[in-house]
Structure 1
Amino acid sequence: MQAIILAAGLGTRLRPHTNICPKPLFSIDGQPIIHRTILTLIAAGCDDILINTHHLAEKIQEFIHNQKYSVPIRLYYEPEILGTGGGIKNLLSHVQSFPVLIVNSDIVTDLDFKNLFETHKSHQYPVTLIMHDEPQFNTVRIEKHAICDFRSGHDSDINIKAFTGIHIIDSLVGDYIPENVFYSITKAYENMIKDGHCIYAHEVKNHYWIDIGTPAGYAKASARFMAQTAFQRIWPNISLSGMTTEKLKGDGSDRSWWRYENHDKSLIMANHGISRVRLPGLSFEKKEPLCTEVESFVRIGNHLHDIGIPVPKIIHYDFFSGLVFVEDLGNVHFQDYIINMKHDLDRVRLAYESVIDILINMSTKGVHDLDNTFTFQTSHYDANMILSFECQYFVNAFVRDYAGLNISYTELEKEFTDLSHAAMEHVQWGLMHRDFQSRNIMFTKNQFYIIDFQGARFGPIQYDLASLLIDPYVPLPDDLQDHLLRYSLKKYKLVDTDVNSQRFNQTYRYCRLFRNLQMLGAFAFLSQKKGKTSFEQYIPLALSRLYKQIKNWSLLPCPGLTNCVEQLNVKINKEV
């Protein structure tokens, strides 16, 4: 049994990712799609496989040559892409025996290739097309197991089915395809029908099939196979039938979150989107950051879990697809937990103290043995990061785009530079979460857990502390904030006896300022540019806190920022 895999396509629907990686090398559960297809063909009894290539052919060749398959894999390069028909014609002269099975490289299926091959051998017709009911692709009219028309549309009430991308052909098909020109195999089949040849339609049911040629199709296929692996990794004897999915409410991130349930077990999947193109044994040139967001999520998450910090256990991941399966921590965020007990201030205080204990532990223990290549965008929270990710963000997204004030970053740059350097003067370096607020803390099994740690890096604990205490999702009274700051310093001194109280508090005040700038920039950007208007409700509180802090500012003078905040306060309050 011989087979042809058509792998020369440009992958236009998956651009820009296919500008770097050819579609056949996109991974499904850690394995390139073409590798999965080859293994399935070999398991079905195929003893010779031919593959046509064109787009990024050298990458496919490099991967195939690095494998040790049990049958010959022959690659044939098309200098000019020839289409489905031209590609097949180009390979037929290398086929040693007929019939030959042909499969597209951009489908994932559990169909039994051996049974399909035997089906073709059971009749006398020159072609067998494997057909199924796939509403979004149904265009082929069938009558009595014969293809009648490839372009019947979707609205007819007659038997309309979709082509799976799998067909078995005899040598006669080659007579209907011209040499060395771009040609569609569908056109060849249409001409065969006109000449009286029957194109046999074999309809299949109760199978799995998906076209991975779109981002949605690729993500769906990846998630299905990864979910199966993830569940069996935790519960080896679990039945995989009856698995359900539920899309969870997102937040400020572009990632999507899903709950996968199977019987009484569940896992959470985070979809970061297709990430850095990196597969084993390949030498793609990369201009991306040293570590992508999904890589940071996995590596920092594993690091924290290994040292005993309460974070969800990472069960399974694939850096290429950007999918990560983690332990399900339920639905109760710290925000919900606190709001439900807001009238019992003693319980609220104790809850915050428990979370601060975790924060101090994460900051002081997490920094040890942390590889700075684990971090996303920057390894350290430093003056440059403050200026780029917080000060410029605040001015561009909030001051100019949202509030409409004609104040440029250049006007405030000198003050921001001086403030950022002052903030870094007496830092207690630790592992900084950078978004340590009530929606990134979960409560389950009488324990608080930290989530969304992919932005962690080396930085001051005071920034995370400020993120928690001035969190607009759960407004805390000033006296409770002051108590929790004192509590934090007291507990931190048990770990670092040399810490200077005055310098600790001073760094906290700078971090509080910059966190407030970052929040206002984020709320404006998310509500205006991303259409997530629910964030806009938190702007007045964040601005009022910034205004109050600036009015009582006694550290490095910043008259330009003070004037800017005063103008913002007048404008926003007037509009509110």
Structure 2
Amino acid sequence: MTIKHAMVLAAGLGTRMRPITETMPKPLVTVAGKALIDYALDHLQQAGITTAVVNLHHFAEKMQAHLEKRDHPRILFSDEQAALMNSGGGLAKGIKLLPTGPLLVMNADLFWIGETAGEKTNLQRLSDFFDPARMDMAMLCVPLERTTGHNGKVDFQMAEDGRLTRYQPGDSKGVVYAGAIAMHSSLLDDAPDDAFNLNIYFDRAIAKGRLFGLDLKGHWLTVGTPEAIGEAEAEMQRQGVYPALTGA
């Protein structure tokens, strides 16, 4: 499936990243010389996304000034300065700025390395995998051993066909949610107007057998604390990754 629109969830306070986030928003924290949000936007750009909504709250003016320097994808801003909307509320509000249709959703504090040049990117694979006739959502997932900076929690059990259920100790294929989703915007037509957690829709989809996962190719990095910056950079050095500063 061709997907041209996306949203990046970027409005959080970044409390675990303090004291860095006392003067800047977490998505502008740099890893290997590039802001976290630019890793996410570069992934989206490489997947063919033309327009991305980014929600703003913490140091919103700094976020907007940074993102206005980008040419691709085109950035639209969803203003949450009056009140944080949590993951679900922020997504439901932000996607109203986009046409109805399929979209990608990414968190702003993670990225991955190790995709194979010349092959489809992880987000292109996710877009192709997403089948709205069978799925409410399709999400990138990754085994715990291919993560850096994660807290060790396993989120889902993945069946052979990719169907996801909540992980229980002893399950054979536990995976971590890698912070990227393909979905259709109409899924949130019944969403409340106030703040809520997107996990509500994960659990609804599981109950209907309509939450699916796709294995991420490469290594996944999440950067939620000051210590995680060095951990991510060390892993990038181990893998010989020297990112181009396309979004800086």
Match status 1:77 vs 2:90: no
Question: Matched residues in 2 for 1:94 and 1:157: separation?
Answer: 40
Within the candidate set 162, 174, 177, 1:163 is matched to 177
**Aligned match of 1:126 in 127, 131, 136?**
136
Distance 2:15 2:233 in 1: 19
SS at match of 2:94: helix
| Letter aligned with residue 37 of structure 2 | I
- RMSD value, Cα: 2.4
Alignment length, in residue pairs?
A: 225
Alignment of 1:340-379 (within 5 A): none
Contact 2:100/2:186 (CA < 8 Å) preserved in 1? no
Corresponding residue number in structure 2 for 1:361: none
1:2 and 1:97 in contact (8 A); partners too = no
CA distance in 2, matches of 1:114, 1:201: 14
The Cα of 1:61 is off from its aligned counterpart by 0.6
Correspondence list, 1:130-141, <5 A: 130-134=140-144, 136-141=152-157
Q: Give the residue type in structure 1 aligned to 2:188.
A: G
Structure 2 residue identity aligned to 1:167: I
Helix, strand or coil at the partner of 1:137: coil
List runs of 5+ in structure 2 lacking aligned partners. Answer: 114-120, 146-151
| Structure 2 SS opposite 1:183 | coil
TM-score normalised by L of structure 2 = 0.81
2:7–2:95 contact (8 Å) kept in structure 1 = no
RCO higher in structure (CA 8 A, sep ≥6): 2
Spell out the pairing of 1:211-230 with structure 2 (5 A cutoff).
211-225=222-236, 228=240
Task: Work out whether residues 28 and 225 of structure 1, in 8 Å CA contact, stay in contact via their aligned partners in 2.
Answer: no
Aligned-partner SS, 1:76: strand
From 191, 194, 205, give the equivalent of 2:204.
191
Q: TM-score, normalised by structure 1?
A: 0.37
SS in 1 for 2:214: strand
Counterparts in 2 of 1:83 and 1:62: CA distance versus 1, 3 Å: same
Q: CA deviation at 1:51?
A: 0.5
The percent of aligned pairs where both chains have the same amino acid is: 22
- Report the secondary structure of 2:42's partner residue: helix
**What is the deviation of 1:122?**
8.4
Letter in 2 for 1:48: T
1:200 aligns with 2:212: yes
Alignment-derived partner of residue 116 in structure 2: none
Asked whether the equivalents of residues 177 and 188 of structure 1 are also in contact (C-alpha less than 8 Å), the reply is no
Gaps of 5+ in 1: 233-280, 282-576
CA 122–185 in structure 1, closer or farther in 2 if over 3 Å, else same: closer
Kindly state the Cα deviation for residue 226 of structure 1 after the two structures are TM-superposed. Answer: 5.9
Is the contact made by 2:76 and 2:97 (CA closer than 8 Å) also made in structure 1? no
**Equivalence for 1:100:** 103
Pick closer, same or farther for the CA change 1:226–1:201 going to 2, 3 Å.
Answer: closer
Query: After superposition, where does 1:543-558 map in structure 2 within 5 Å?
Result: none
Cα 1:223–1:160 change in 2 (3 A) is closer
Rg larger for? 1
In terms of fraction of residues, the more helix-rich structure is 1
Separation in 1, partners of 2:90, 2:100: 18
Partner of 1:113: 123
Q: Does the alignment pair 1:147 with 2:161?
A: no
* 3-state DSSP of counterpart to 2:49: coil
In structure 1, C-alpha distance between the alignment counterparts of 2:129 and 2:237, rounded to whole Å: 32
